[in-house]
Amino acid sequence: MYILGLSCYYHDSAAVLIRDGEIIAAAQEERFTRKKHDPGFPVESVRFCLRQAGIQLSDVAYIAYYDKPFLTFERLIETYIALAPRGWRSFVTSMPVWLKDKLNLKWLLKRELCQLQEGLKTKDLPPLLFSRHHLSHAASAFYPSPFNEAAVLCLDGVGEWATTSVWVGKGKDLQAQWEIRFPHSLGLLYSAFTYFTGFKVNSGEYKLMGLAPYGEPLFVDKIKEHLIDIKDDGTFRLNLEYFDFATGLKMTNAKFNRLFGGPERKSEAPVTVREMDLARSIQQVTEEVVLKLARTIRRETGQRHLCLAGGVALNCVANGKIVNEKIFEGLWVQPAAGDAGGALGAALCAWHQHLGHDRTISSSDGMRGAYLGPEWKPEEIEGFLKERQIPHRRLSEEALVDQVADLLAQGNVIGWYQGRMEYGPRALGNRSILGDPRNVEMQTNMNLKIKFRESFRPFAPAVMAEKSHQVFDLEERSPYMLLVGVVNQQWRCPTGGLDRGKRGLDLLKVQRSLVPAITHVDYSARVQTVHPDTNPLFHRLLERFDQKTQTPVLVNTSFNVRGEPIVCRPEEAYNCFMQTNIDYLVMGPFLLAKSEQTGRAEDYHRQFDLD
- Sheet containing strand 414-417, edge to edge, reads 393-394, 590-593, 584-587, 414-417, 431-435, 553-558, 460-464, 524-530, 483-487, 472-473
Q: Where, residue-wise, is CATH 3.90.870.20 in the chain?
A: 378-604
- Per residue, the 3-state secondary structure of 342-370, as one string, reads HHHHHHHHHHHHHCCCCCCCCCCCCCHHH
Instruction: Render pLDDT for 432-468 as a digit per residue (tens, 0 to 9).
Output: 999 999 999 888 889 888 888 877 888 999 999 999 9
Sorting pLDDT into bands at 50, 70 and 90, what band is 611?
very low
Sorting pLDDT into bands at 50, 70 and 90, what band is 254?
very high
Mean pLDDT for the stretch of residues 21-43: 97
Task: Give dist(CA 190, CA 434) in Å, integer.
Answer: 30
pLDDT of residue 447: 86
Higher pLDDT, 611 or 152: 152
Instruction: Render pLDDT for 237-251 as a digit per residue (tens, 0 to 9).
Output: 999 999 998 776 789
Q: Distance of CA 42 to CAs 168, 389, 522, 546, Å?
A: 31, 33, 40, 41
Instruction: Render pLDDT for 199-215 as a digit per residue (tens, 0 to 9).
Output: 999 889 999 999 999 99
Q: Is the pLDDT of residue 519 over 60?
A: yes
How do the residues of the chain divide into helix, strand and coil, expressed in percent and rounded to 5? 40, 20, 40
CATH 1.10.3720.10, applies to 2-132: no
Mean pLDDT for the stretch of residues 249-256: 90
- Any idea what DSSP says for residue 168? E
Residue 606 gets the label, from left (phi > 0), alpha (psi -120 to 50) or beta, of: beta
Percent share of the chain, pLDDT over 90: 80
Q: Where, residue-wise, is CATH 3.30.420.40 in the chain?
A: 2-132
> Please, how many CA atoms are within 13 Å of residue 442, restricted to the half-sphere of its CB?
32
Mean pLDDT for the stretch of residues 566-580: 97
Q: What are phi and psi of 598, to 5 degrees?
A: -90, -25
Task: Give dist(CA 568, CA 580) in Å, integer.
Answer: 17
- Per residue, the 3-state secondary structure of 210-255, as one string, reads HHHHHCCCCCHHHHHHHCEEECCCCCEEECHHHECCCCCCCCECHH
| Residues facing 23 on adjacent strands | 18
Domain 378-604 class in CATH: alpha beta
Q: 65: exposed, middle or buried (C-beta count within 10 Å: 0-12, 13-18, 19+)?
A: buried
**Nearest Cα to Cα of residue 13 among 22, 21, 3, 32:** 32
Lowest mean pLDDT among 1-10, 103-112, 418-427, 593-602: 593-602
Task: Give dist(CA 474, CA 496) in Å, integer.
Answer: 26
pLDDT of residue 510: 87
pLDDT of residue 82: 62
Indicate the pTM of the whole model. 0.93
pLDDT of residue 562: 86
Lowest mean pLDDT among 349-353, 491-495, 571-575: 491-495
Q: What is the mean pLDDT of the chain?
A: 92
Mean pLDDT for the stretch of residues 325-342: 97
Q: Is the pLDDT of residue 605 over 50?
A: no
Q: Is the pLDDT of residue 85 over 70?
A: no
Sorting pLDDT into bands at 50, 70 and 90, what band is 608?
very low
